[in-house]
Structure 1
Amino acid sequence: MVDIVPRMSALSPGDVFAGYTIERLLGSGGMGEVYVARHPRLPRSDALKVLAAQLADDDGFRRRFEREADVVAGLSNPHVVKVHDRGETDGRLWIALEYVDGEDLATTLRRGPLPASETARIVGEIAQALDDAAAAGLVHRDVKPANVLLDRRGRALLADFGIAHLAGDASQLTGTGMTLGTVLYASPEQLLGHAVDARSDQYSLACTAFEMLTGRPPFGGATPTQIVMAHVQTPPPSAAAARPGLSPEVDAVLHRALAKDPAHRFDDGRAFGAALTRSLAPAPSAAQPPVPPPPAQSSPAQPPTQAYAPTVVAPAAAPKARSRTGLIVGAIVAVLVVAAASIWLFSHGSSTDGDTGPSQEANDLKRVPVTGLLASLADKPTAPTWSWPDKPGFSLPDVLGGTDSTVLMVDGPGSDSRLALVDAASGRTTRTIALPAGIASPSDCAISANQKAAMCAVSRSPGNSSRPMLVDLVAGTARILDFETEFDASITTSGDVFVATAKEGVVVYDATGARRWAVPAAGVETLDVSTQGSSPVVGVVVGNEATLRRVTDGQIVYRRDTTLGSAGFIWLGSLTGFVVQEGGTATEPDAAIFDATGRRTGEATGWTVSRQNSSAMVSSLPVLTRGGEVAAFNPATGNMLWSVSRPEWYQFEVKAGFGTKVEVTLRPNAGATALQHGWFDCYDGTFGIFDEPNFTSVLGTDGERIAVETRYDPELLKVYETDGSVRWTTGPSSSDDVNDLVAAGPAIMLDGRRLT
């Protein structure tokens, strides 16, 4: 029997409210609480916002709460948190919002300022959302880092229109606006109680941008009154002074958006975002016109009558004589530059004139790994941390994968096998999961990015058909899905989406097992599907038509006719985009670079796209080769970030990503059959070579060292330093029964034994 929640009680996990099952509290504030709650009919979780019980009878708060749902529900923008439903239950108003799996910008900024390119992207996306809201007559009034959400791919979404109101509404809500708002980011006109429009939100977004670049808001003070006076009277500070390396153009853009008088700001958010993007670009292809600064400011209480007249940015004053402090700082900088150059040469071996970078754009990028970090590899284990099974009744296990805290195991082959969720720290079995009737042991498992679900390929019995099986790691259940194949399907993930491919076609599921989209082979003359782990796209070749389809919704983002079928269609994914081999004529580039939306951002003439093994993990950034050269590119801009040239090597080939690195093979000459293996860092071009003739695969990295599996049992596990030296090796004893050495979350597992 379901408990009915009393009117004034708090909601707890398991409670049912308005049909939604409460999973956990996400946050709370003056307006009420926000919960993660399971939808009553659809296979998803929503963010359920419930008005505080003591405020339910307040007409002012009720109007504001309903206004948020009605107006935001009418917006259609990928950077605004969607409103799914609203209502009133047991005297409490509620709104069901899109649940964004990630973190807010305020949390991100607690780790420090953001790269310039990431700042430009986030500001552009939120500016777009604010412009669309303004077109609907909506002013947000509370733009700040805490109300900007970043999903797992970095997409920015604007949240919490909780104190927003329709432009022109007679009730300005000034009586409660500052209680609910944040003074650090509020515009002068809002603080003074004047009428506000979309330019007020632009000012708040500029305050947020300033903090993204420098690590602090532009205006501060010991008391709220001092902060308010700074917003109203103090000229904006210099971001370039707080963050050396920024151009004066960045200050010009921010100062215009932070003008005290709204009339002196940009016409709209998109214009502000575009100007900031240009000013932060590391190497613009053509000179951009300078952004005119605002004129001398007067109080918003008495706005100037003259229209804003553009002017050019004045050149910097002549430098003064250098002080002794300046000389000391210069000497320190020189030492650091020499040290950085030494590190570069040490990591790369002998320097060649062909090496370039890493560029400033590369240095500004936020490092995003494609796989999680292993536990520390600094010390060689003297004995397994733990061995499993930890109780009778389980046979020699297979390790299927792992999360940050759990190892997923199965107790050997056969229709009586069971899944076990094992605590990664202690080896204790936390839950066993019975497989559906008639199912043999699963294989080829993948785990969603939110670590709540896994998908495995399973067979009903030897020689019979196979299907994907969804494992709910939270509820501890397993069920068979509806894609029947002759052989085990290949399973990969991209975020929280699963991709199952076989000769029968491709089916994409979300983390609940619901179908997103599919391309069946039935009725198709030839069908070839290629997938890569964590890639934003899937390759589908039907006859002579090659396409790349977005994993999340199946939309075709790239299409190409080819008479060579799948053999002539070579593409390579990365976390935020992809590259395609398109030929090598004078009029057609050798490699085309795209962002994840399918927008063509650049070409790499003469560079080669490596054909990856099916289901191999993508790298953080696209890495291309050209004979003995390797280079990384930014999918967002198409720019080369760094390149390394080694004439003594005949050919490099990209294999798979791990951490922020990518595994490569090296061929010393055209006739060589023995390959060497190595790695490159996607962000700075540092690299190393594995001096290992029995190399099998890279297991992962702890961020400093790299674990490798070999074919030589006494040195089955080999750990390398980034300079190429061997840290330690280990292998099984002669009495050990060895099945597999695999990485599962932070652990390296040898069958049922955790080694690291």
Structure 2
Amino acid sequence: LPVTLNFNGPSQAQRELEEIERRYEAVKRNSGILRLNGEMVKADFRDLEFISDIGSGSCGHVSKMSYNGHVMAVKDMARTSNKEDNKRIIMDLDVISRADASHHIVLCYGYFISETSVKVCMEVMASSLHTLLRNANRIGMRIAEGYIGKMSVSIIQALDYLKDHLNVIHRDVKPSNILLDWNGAVKLCDFGISGQLIESRAHTVQAGCPPYMAPERFDPRYNADYDIRSDVWSVGISLVELATGKYPYSHIESEFAILAAIVRDPPPTLPENMGFTPEFHDFISQCLQKDFQLRPKYKALLGHPFILNSAHDESHDLSILVQDVLGD
């Protein structure tokens, strides 16, 4: 049967522009202030010393730099006349600067806003889960379920924090936006397309990485109406990828065909022949319910046996995994 994909959610353009302007003025007031070791320091970006390049992505270039001995990752994002780009930058700043109470969201030391760019100073992390998995595959290593369980606890806690404390839905959960440090701490990053929830629902679809997006995000039957459970689907897809070593729709070539399969086909499951526990199988099946009304929210997931068992598991130290996969 032909599949119709809907990418035209209801517009709230004027309302969003006003909200962007309000947030911009709020974050602009703190430009040039770094929070280091519990103290607020007024800084000039020219005083930061370049150490090395970390990499580039869709959101900008990241460098390792230092300020008075404090090493940090600095994300440099160009400001343009594109309203969507500016919205992403402001949303990223707004969320990351207000989420410092969570141990599961990458720490922001501060930022510098100029007429041409925004530079965000963050803690240095060891790797993304995307890079970790790529390296594990390269050396023929499978990431054990116990490690994935530990990651899952932090990911769900981070998303629950965003919802409870900031009333925000991430909307771009995927392995490249989940980071690990050398101590094994797992943290969410990249909030550029996060959305403010209105009465616990989001109402636009033009955000996110389509291959990790939930069916309701582009299925016209839902009329672009979704909530935090769309991120739960993205978590499920990411965990299947980590557990099996490959993206569950990797056998499909075009992105449009992947989106059609997400809407049309049964959801991915964990293979029966890889030794996964019944709890992990059930957790994935809960996360990947096609009907988002049947999908659990974060509090229910935090009470799932897979998460409870993983939270108390002391035999899987993520710092050891990072060392084994990434080396020195």
Scaled by the length of structure 1, what TM-score is found? 0.33
Could you say if the C-alpha distance between residues 371 and 87 of structure 1 is closer, same or farther in structure 2, counting changes exceeding 3 Å? Answer: closer
Offset, 1:162? 1.9
Offset, 1:18? 5.1
**1:119-148 deviation line (CA, Å, top 9, x unaligned):** 111011111001001111111111111111
1:56 aligns with 2:92: no
Conserved in 2, the CA contact under 8 Å of 1:68 and 1:161?
A: yes
Instruction: Spell out the pairing of 1:298-337 with structure 2 (5 A cutoff).
Output: none
Distance 2:271 2:104 in 1: 28
Distance 1:211 1:189 in 2: 21
Higher strand share: 1
1:229 aligns with 2:260: yes
Distance 1:271 1:88 in 2: 38
Q: Which runs of 4+ in 1 moved over 3 A?
A: 16-19, 169-175, 272-275, 277-281, 364-372
Letter paired with 2:89: F
Could you say if the C-alpha distance between residues 28 and 270 of structure 1 is closer, same or farther in structure 2, counting changes exceeding 3 Å? Answer: farther
Conserved in 2, the CA contact under 8 Å of 1:84 and 1:97?
A: yes
1:73 aligned counterpart, secondary structure? helix
1:89 aligns with 2:84: no
Identity %: 26
Could you say if the C-alpha distance between residues 279 and 212 of structure 1 is closer, same or farther in structure 2, counting changes exceeding 3 Å? Answer: farther
1:187 aligns with 2:214: yes
Distance 2:73 2:65 in 1: 6
Offset, 1:56? 2.3
**1:288-313 deviation line (CA, Å, top 9, x unaligned):** xxxxxxxxxxxxxxxxxxxxxxxxxx
Offset, 1:23? 2.2
2:196 to 161, 166, 186: 166
Distance 1:26 1:124 in 2: 27
Instruction: Spell out the pairing of 1:728-739 with structure 2 (5 A cutoff).
Output: none
Conserved in 2, the CA contact under 8 Å of 1:27 and 1:34?
A: yes
Conserved in 2, the CA contact under 8 Å of 1:149 and 1:158?
A: yes
1:106 aligned counterpart, secondary structure? helix
Offset, 1:38? 1.4
**1:587-644 deviation line (CA, Å, top 9, x unaligned):** xxxxxxxxxxxxxxxxxxxxxxxxxxxxxxxxxxxxxxxxxxxxxxxxxxxxxxxxxx
Offset, 1:251? 2.4
Conserved in 1, the CA contact under 8 Å of 2:185 and 2:318?
A: no
2:161 to 117, 132, 146: 132
Distance 2:298 2:189 in 1: 19
Offset, 1:118? 0.7
Residue in structure 1 matched with residue 71 of structure 2 by the alignment: 45
Distance 1:61 1:367 in 2: 35
Distance 2:260 2:295 in 1: 20
Could you say if the C-alpha distance between residues 148 and 366 of structure 1 is closer, same or farther in structure 2, counting changes exceeding 3 Å? Answer: closer
Offset, 1:370? 12
Residue in structure 1 matched with residue 149 of structure 2 by the alignment: 120
1:107 to 102, 124, 131: 131
| Structure 1: gaps of 5 or more residues | 1-15, 285-360, 373-448, 451-756
Distance 1:273 1:230 in 2: 30
Letter paired with 1:214: T
1:71 aligns with 2:99: no
Scaled by the length of structure 2, what TM-score is found? 0.72
**Looking at CA atoms only, which structure, 1 or 2, has the larger radius of gyration?**
1
Superposition CA RMSD, Å: 3.4
1:93 aligned counterpart, secondary structure? strand
Distance 1:201 1:26 in 2: 27
Distance 2:70 2:269 in 1: 45
Conserved in 1, the CA contact under 8 Å of 2:184 and 2:318?
A: no
1:163 aligned counterpart, secondary structure? coil
Offset, 1:168? 2.8
Could you say if the C-alpha distance between residues 270 and 153 of structure 1 is closer, same or farther in structure 2, counting changes exceeding 3 Å? Answer: farther
Distance 1:21 1:367 in 2: 28
2:157 aligned counterpart, secondary structure? helix
Conserved in 1, the CA contact under 8 Å of 2:241 and 2:248?
A: yes
Distance 2:205 2:264 in 1: 21
Distance 1:369 1:87 in 2: 35
Letter paired with 1:67: M
- The higher-RCO structure (CA 8 Å, 6+ apart) is 2
